[in-house]
Amino acid sequence: MKFSLAWLKDHLDTDASAEAIAEKLSAIGLELEALEDPSARLSGFKVAKVLTAERHPNADKLQVLTVDTGDGQPLQVVCGAPNARAGLVGVLGLPGAVVPAGGFELKKSAIRGVESNGMMCSTRELELGDDHDGIIELPADAPVGTAFADYHGSDPVFDVAITPNRPDCMGVYGIARDLAAAGLGTLKPIAAQAVPGSFPCPVPIRIEDPEGCPAFYGRVIKGVTNGASPDWIQARLNSAGQRPISALVDLTNYLMLTYGRPAHAYDLAKLNGSVVARRARDGETCLALNGKEYALDSAMTVIADDSGVHDIAGIMGGEHSGCTDETTDVLLEIAWFNPVRIGDTGRKLNLTSDARQRFERGTDPAFLDAGLEILTDLIVGICGGEPSDVVRAGSPPAATKTLAYDPAMAESLGGVAIPAERQREILAALGFATDAHGKIAVPTWRPDIDGWPDLVEEVVRIHGIDAVASTPLPRADGVARPTATAPQKLERKVRRAAAARGLNELVTWSFLPQDEAEHFAEGNGGLWVLANPISEDMKAMRPSLLPGLLSAAKRNLDRGAAGLRLFELGRRYLRGEGGHSDERLTLGVVLAGERAARGWASGKAAGFDAFDAKAEALALLAEAGAPVDNLQFMGEAGAQFHPGQSATLRLGPKTVLARFGMIHPATLKAFDIDGPVAAVELFLDAIPARKGAATFARAAYAPPALQSVTRDFAFLVDAALPAGDLVRAVRGADKGSIVAVRLFDDFRGAGVPGGQKSLAIEVTLQPGERSFTEADLKAIANRITAAAAKLGAALRG
């Protein structure tokens, strides 16, 4: 919400400076985004007088001007404006000034061989209007040599962030009310004078959708003269970032921005028959004022006549019935629309507007008559014309609400003692009234007030949040007890382990574009698609962490990153039983680009492969406390992975702890990624808790008293046998003595029969209370060979 200081002072009688107002706005909960000084953009521009104007010797459409800047040294300026002439007083941009409209710096230059020392400026070039037919013409008595910023005047502009619960502050008047309540001036009453009609309204108005539009008021004004709105109206709109269009349109926008009350003006000559608020019919369309055509359905409220739809109710008017410079008769519309209906329609059409922002938050239902009278008075006073009687179809909802309130609640809930009389003053200044029974009547423009805690908030924020004492919470004596839960501890441990392994952490949105989410939704029970997303690119809750990581990898690779090792720890969102959200703690890893840079020894750069993903999966699962020695490698990593270069890690056939491998080329194409990518997804929620972890503390580490022993074995096995199966079998041969098994050679060649391979493993044995004897070692070796024999393995001779 942007507005100028002059606009605010139209409704707030105050001598406070712009800086003081800015500070108070933030103090009362209306957060100030920026305080702008438009005159800063006009630095380097002066009021100047053209002394002479001669034809350019080398160009028919250019003139060479001699310009007086007030310092006794006239400057030569080349100008192409048709209205440039001797005696004209205008605005000269000197070398070094930056033109607001183009953002370019003026420099002394030669134009067609003639030196020019600046530029005579138009209204559009200084962003003071849309006129670009000629240079600015100031009054003849304008002080030559004065800085144009000083002559034009400096009117600071406030940019305030209005939270969705404060529709009353979606207009300048509501903000002025809050500032007056905070003691920064006196609120001026709304000047809503009744404008009597001189003839019956010739347009029948009715409501066929009372749920979507409970109230529809209107009147006709005949004989108006449309054109440019007055300078003061244009200045107000410009400060709000609105482009002035014509008087009729500007005045409806002015009413909305001043009082938070949207309205609309129809060209009466373009209407046919009755005007009705009704439901749209499936298949109807509306060409809106933004030039786009929207397909409507029966859940939307529209304003239509006998010919068809003219207005997407409460959001945007139609182009067909809009006012132009030729408009002479208008129908004014002021209505109250259902906020829920407006929000639903806007989201379906992906259409936003200033009117929608106000209607979906809740406009004042008691301000229809006053708003219509103010708008009528402005139009008649500026455009002329003769108004008809007012036609009222339906009635707005009764918004009267009373709440019981005890002033002692401010201290018990707000933490600050405020005298009861002061609280009543604050509430009265904000528009709340006290009835004969001591209850507080809520004003119609405050739909956000539901209970007495809201009244406490109003009192405390106006009294001053800084007056609330900072009181520490009570704390028991002694050392604080740990508060982290087991899942929180797991997150911290895994996050640190991933970072220690050289992975870079990302934090991405929990929302995805729907097509990306659907690509990873296989087997996840369906997507959660939001009804009110932040944007279309954030419409679905993520069923996997990999889409966000892949998108981040693409952005970095496109910007020249050589190698990427990325991870994210977060939650994926699935559909649980009964339609409830099922959130799963997950770790995602993406490896892309170069694993090792090219060099004199290695030659070409080495990329990541499925074994790199496997190593990350096993290492991080081990840090998470998973029983990695008991895991089984199985397929079915998902359609997003390459079927021949991926696998899952499972505890039994059903419990999947991780999936890893190379991303499928079709998935890479969907994310527009060139080159192979390895990925890991660890399902941390599936890791079983350790037995006794909740009741027994882990014993302190004590190194073994005796030295370990290593023995090497070489087995001939079937070429198709996974090496991990042999390692697992050997490890289980003697769980009391074998503490580690490591594969160190896989040989296939001379001396090895066809269809077989030689796997060499190193077995680490740890003695307990006494050292191993030769007989002990032989018995362990026998058990190892026997375990391997069950897989068809035989010791290599």
Q: Which positions make up the binding site for Mg(2+)?
A: 448, 454, 457-458
Long-range contacts of 786-789 (CB under 8 A, 24+ apart): 786/733, 787/729, 787/730, 787/732, 787/733, 788/713, 788/715, 788/717, 788/726, 788/729, 788/730
CB 342 within 8 A of CB 360: yes
- The Cα–Cα gap between 612 and 605 comes to 15
How far is the first Cα of the chain from the last one, in angstroms, to the nearest whole number? 86
Report the chain's C-alpha Rg in angstroms: 38
Contacts of 599 (CB under 8 A, 6+ apart): none
- In terms of phi and psi (left: phi > 0; alpha: psi -120 to 50; beta: otherwise), the region of 384 is left
Residue with tokens 């419409």: 539
Packing angle of the helix pair 247-259, 231-239 (nearest 10 deg): 50
Quote the tokens at residue 346.
């806007």
* Residue 666, CA distances (Å) to 507, 516, 589, 642 in order: 25, 12, 19, 9
Token pair 């941390």: residue: 684
- Smallest Cα–Cα separation from 228: which of 208, 207, 249, 205? 249
Cα–Cα distance, 698 to 423 (Å, whole number): 59
CA distance 663 to 642: 6
Q: What is the DSSP string of 606-620?
A: EE--HHHHHHHHHHH
Q: CA 282 to CA 245: how far, in whole Å? A: 33
Two tokens at 526?
């369906």
Q: Virtual CA dihedral for 585, 586, 587, 589, nearest 10 degrees? A: -160
Contact criterion met (CB below 8 Å) for 780 and 742: no
How far apart CA 367 and CA 334 sit, in angstroms, is: 10
Angle at 599 between CA 593 and CA 602, to 5 degrees: 85
Could you tell me which of 605, 500, 589 has the C-alpha nearest to residue 552? 589
- At 679, give phi and psi (nearest 5°): -145, 155
User: β-strand 275-279 against 205-207: which pairing, if any?
Assistant: parallel
* Distance, CA of 245 to CA of 257 (rounded, Å): 15
Q: How many CB atoms lie within 10 A of CB 756?
A: 19
Residue 365: is it exposed, middle or buried by C-beta count within 10 angstroms (0-12/13-18/19+)? middle
Q: Which of 498, 784, 712 is nearest to 622 (CA)?
A: 498
Give the C-alpha separation, 148 to 44, whole Å.
Answer: 8
- Angle at the Cα of 9 from the Cα atoms of 5 and 15, rounded to 5 degrees: 90
SS3 187: strand
Binding site, residues?
448, 454, 457-458
Residue 535, exposed/middle/buried by CB under 10 A (0-12, 13-18, 19+)?
exposed
CB atoms within 10 A of CB 235: 18
CB 256 within 8 A of CB 371: no
Determine the Cα–Cα distance for residues 131 and 128; give it in Å rounded to an integer.
9
